[in-house]
Amino acid sequence: MRFLRLRSISLANKCLLLFGGAIAVVLLLALVPPWLRMGDLVRERQAEIARRLVDVWLRLDAQAREQGQSPSADDQGTIEYAGVRVADLSGQELDRARLEDRFIRTLLSDATPEAPDALDSRWEGATRRYRYGRVLFDEAQRPDRVLVFERQGDDTAVLLIVNTVYLLSAGLIVFVLALALFYFVTHRLVLSPVKALRETAEGVRQGDLSIRSSIRTGDDFEELARTFNQMLSVLEAAQEHQKSINRALDLKLHELSEANSALFESNRVKAEFLANVSHELRTPLNAIIGFAELLLEIAERERSEGPPNPEIDKRARYQKTIVSAARDLLQLIESLLEMAKIEAGRVEVRIESVQIEETCRGLIALLQPIADDRGVRLVLDLERDLPALWTDPKKLHQILFNLLANAVKFAEPPPDGGQATVILRASRMLGESSSQPERIRFSVRDTGPGIPEDQIDRIFEKFHQVDAGPTRRHQGTGLGLAICRELTSLLQGEITVESTLGEGSTFSLVLPLRPDPVLAEEIRLERSLRASLYTPRTWQPDSGTSSGVGEVADHGP
């Protein structure tokens, strides 16, 4: 928290705090040695006074001894001459003092003939008491006597206090002057330019690119302000250029919106046209197919009951051609209607339980007559114990039927000989992890010519055919695989293709064993959105007339 508070302090206050702290540390380091030296000087002065007094006492003592006088000591062993009291210790008194007095003991251990004395001091209240000791050596340079002198330094405390106050006052004056000078210099040379740059940056942040910084310091700040102003000029020019581009884009966007509206209307008209025309074509086409099949049955019965008649054979052949062409046309119309219905989001998914083996066998039986006509062998390969598949049975049937019908249409005998073959396989696919559900894979393999590699990614596009030239061998609209892809997406599956030129193709449909309800809801919402944005007028029933795509697609042929 303290660090965060320090970061919130302004730059000027930070400078003052940091520089003031630095000055305080420097002054402290500068004043401590003089203060310590001052104590040493006072101590040396007191030692010199005590040394002179003891010298006086020694001269007086020597004179008294020459005159045959023997000074008497008091109870403490202290002898006084001319007002100077000195403890003269020798013999047993010195031995006893050595044991009892730490100062005497230290003095005796450290004294030498060259440095025979020492000074000790202590505070007693507000006064300083000094104790001076000198060792006298005999002719053998051995300690003989110890003189101890004690006196009270009455002026010591005063001197120390006066000198301390003087030092502190000088340090405080220097501190204030240095801080004031630093504030003036930093405010003049640093803080004012920084403040001007900050105000300019704040104006830029609020969106004013016309603001400029005017700093005339003749140093790096002025150069920075000049560079900053140049940058603002470039940004202002770029902003004006961007505004002009935005205006042009707005104009283009308006044009694109109008073009999009026109395209949407065109698409709506196309869907409406396909729905109306397809519906109008289906009704008479069903009648044509019905009556053509009836006439074909009559011709077949006449040919089987009567003698051979070329006219009847010709009529039966013509009628069979009519039925075949009409059924192809009906399939084309059904594909157009289904694609229009998918694009409009009108396809409903009804999930039911599907028996895979029953569905596959029904598809093989349905396509067997067409395969026999083309000389194609249909093979069903089912894995054992396939579980029930939960999906839309009609959509699954339609996808597999389109894949099988395409395979039968394109199947050819292999290059190495043999019969053209189409294989329908169904197998289980276990998930690669516990989070991936089990799936079912349907594969349709043919022995056709194969698909070029550059066409594999496009075969699922609407109206796209690999053999799209005027001399193409196979008829169709190119909607079958596109419908399969859209229906597979609705069933939460995926459809892929693998092909090799000259060997054939394999289309694979992979569906989950059970659909994901969350994904199913997303798909439903997407269909609802598509239906709300893509609603031709003919898709709405009116006055009992069924002209909507959704209604027509549910009718049988």
pLDDT at position 297, please? Answer: 85
Q: Which residue type does 321 have?
A: T
Domains of the chain: 10-174 (no CATH), 346-533 (3.30.565.10)
> How far is it, in rounded angstroms, from Cα 48 to Cα 332?
132
pLDDT in tens, 471-513: 445 555 567 788 888 888 888 889 999 888 888 889 999 999 8
> How far is it, in rounded angstroms, from Cα 19 to Cα 17?
6
| Closest to 439 in 3D by CA, of 383, 387, 370, 511 | 511
The strand pairing partners of 44, in sequence order, are none
Give the global pTM: 0.47
Range 14-21 average pLDDT: 72
Range 393-412 average pLDDT: 89
Task: Tell me: pLDDT of 284 over 50.
Answer: yes
Using pLDDT thresholds of 50, 70 and 90, give the confidence band for residue 7: low
Answer whether 308's CB lies under 8 Å from 501's CB. no
Selection from 26-35, 119-128, 303-312, 491-500 with the highest mean pLDDT: 491-500
pLDDT at position 470, please? Answer: 43
Task: Tell me: pLDDT of 467 over 60.
Answer: no
pLDDT in tens, 73-129: 555 556 665 555 677 777 767 767 776 778 777 877 778 878 888 888 777 666 777
Q: Over pLDDT 90: what percentage of the chain?
A: 9
Q: Do β-strands 376-382 and 420-429 pair in parallel, antiparallel, or remain unpaired?
A: parallel
| Closest to 311 in 3D by CA, of 320, 302, 324, 321 | 302
pLDDT in tens, 175-228: 788 878 777 777 766 767 777 777 788 877 787 777 787 777 777 777 788 887
Range 293-301 average pLDDT: 83
Could you please report the per-residue DSSP string of 84-124? EEEEEEETHHHHHHHHH-HHHHHHHHH--SSS-EEEEEEEE
pLDDT at position 364, please? Answer: 92
Using pLDDT thresholds of 50, 70 and 90, give the confidence band for residue 444: very high
**Which has the higher per-residue pLDDT, 380 or 184?**
380
